Structure 1
Amino acid sequence: MVQEKFTHIYARAAERKGGDEALESMLSVPLSAEQLAAIPDDRWLAAFTQKVFQSGMSWKVVRSKWPNFEEVFFGFDIEKMLLMPNEMWERKATDPAIIRHLGKVMTIPENARMIHQATREYGSFANMVAQWPQQDIIGLWQHLKKHGKRLGGNTGPYTLRVMGKDTFILSGDVEAYLRSTGVIDGGRDTKKSQQATLAAFNDWQQESGRPLCQISQIIAFSTGDNRL
């Protein structure tokens, strides 16, 4: 397989989206390592929790109730989350002010423990994320999946993207492109497929000098049913 040059992918995306200027206006800009490292741990827990609740639910409904989540869970203060007994979690999961889902509510203490452990090792969870090498971004995905709760699939990566960490996303359009060009041919989450995907994105990053998030978006814009 000869990997398609990123210049060709970009040209196709620009043609579909109305030109270079229009395409550039659609692209995300990741935070710097310094900006990432300044994000408090409670904001990471809030972001993971919001994405967990949005999985399989209306994002609009979750966003509309989010101020209630912040109040019910004490602003996602990590120490308070770690001190709450199971009975309190079960009571909070029945609070009509939030979306009542015990399984998803119980991800909060699990992910608080993950964040707390990273804080012990790195000084803060944000430091760990900021220091994680871009060339091994899938390693960070795997860390979230292994040590967190319900952060596998695209939930962890989407949260990282929202928070400003540079990462690509295996959206439906991106996965379809990778399959159609032979980058992957098996299960998306197998070690072989993930390593092949990571190698391809690292090659495109070296070729273009662009952040991974923009490469991912440009690939998505270059294919699928999103032509203007």
Structure 2
Amino acid sequence: MTSLATGSDGRVRCAWVGADAEYERYHDEEWGRPLHGDRALFEKMSLEGFQAGLSWITILRKRPRFREVFAGFDPDAVAAFGEDDVERLMQDAGIIRNRAKVTATIGNAALVSAMGEDELDELMWSFAPAAGLRPRSFADVPAVTAESTAMSKELRRRGFRFVGATTMYALMQSAGMVDDHVEGCWRAS
């Protein structure tokens, strides 16, 4: 598989983007850019958890509805969800209706809500590795790293769920903790 592709606008991008306009926007405007703030990182953690076993484009297309039904991923609001909310979410075809993932998101919200201001941000970013070599191809991009494994272990120790090492590496990529835009991509810095 080639690591680069030219979009309809003539820009050379990481090939995983394909020809999907929403993926192009996500790649160009979000993926790999530093993301900070407990609420933003809680959303990212939640969506990456929902993505487990699915394609990211599925989550990206459902993200507006996720934001709507999960109170904009406000940890305090989501932490207050009860069984009626779980049942409401399980009936909503606009999201991924997986009970374990829904209840994990609510439980994770309670953990974030109990933390101090910016504590989740500081915790997650403490695992960001020093900038390394730019990947030359997709073959150079790992699925898991020592840092994502350590982040996963610490989050699990604190009671978080759906935060496996592979999921946390995907979060590190999307939140800009690592920059995996391949060499030749217009976004490669």
Q: With the length of structure 2 as denominator, give the TM-score of the two structures.
A: 0.61
In the alignment, what sits opposite 1:89?
86
Equivalent residue in structure 2 for 1:106, among 100, 103, 107: 103
Change (3 A) 1:49 1:92: same
Aligned with 1:127 (options 122, 125, 130):
122
Deviation at 1:127, TM superposition (A): 1.9
Paired-residue identity, %:
21
Q: Give unpaired runs (5+ residues) of structure 1.
A: 1-15, 19-24, 167-212, 219-228
Q: Larger radius of gyration, structure 1 or 2?
A: 1
Q: Give the distance between the partners of 1:50 and 1:133, measured in 2 at CA.
A: 19
TM norm structure 1: 0.52
Give unmatched runs, 5+ long, in structure 2: 5-12, 15-26, 131-145, 184-189
Which string of whole-angstrom CA distances, capped at 9 and with x for unpartnered residues, describes residues 120-157 of structure 1? 2x643112223347487242231123331111140122
The aligned counterpart of 2:152 is 141
Q: Distance in 2 between matches of 1:149 and 1:17?
A: 32
Larger helix proportion of the pair: 1
Distance in 1 of aligned mates of 2:128 and 2:97 = 37
Kept in 2: contact 1:107–1:149 (CA 8 A) = yes
Deviation of residue 30 (structure 1)?
Answer: 6.0
What residue in structure 2 maps to residue 155 of structure 1? 167
- 1:108: Cα distance to partner? 0.8
The one-letter code sitting in structure 2 at the alignment partner of 1:155 is: T
Q: Which amino acid aligns with 2:161?
A: K
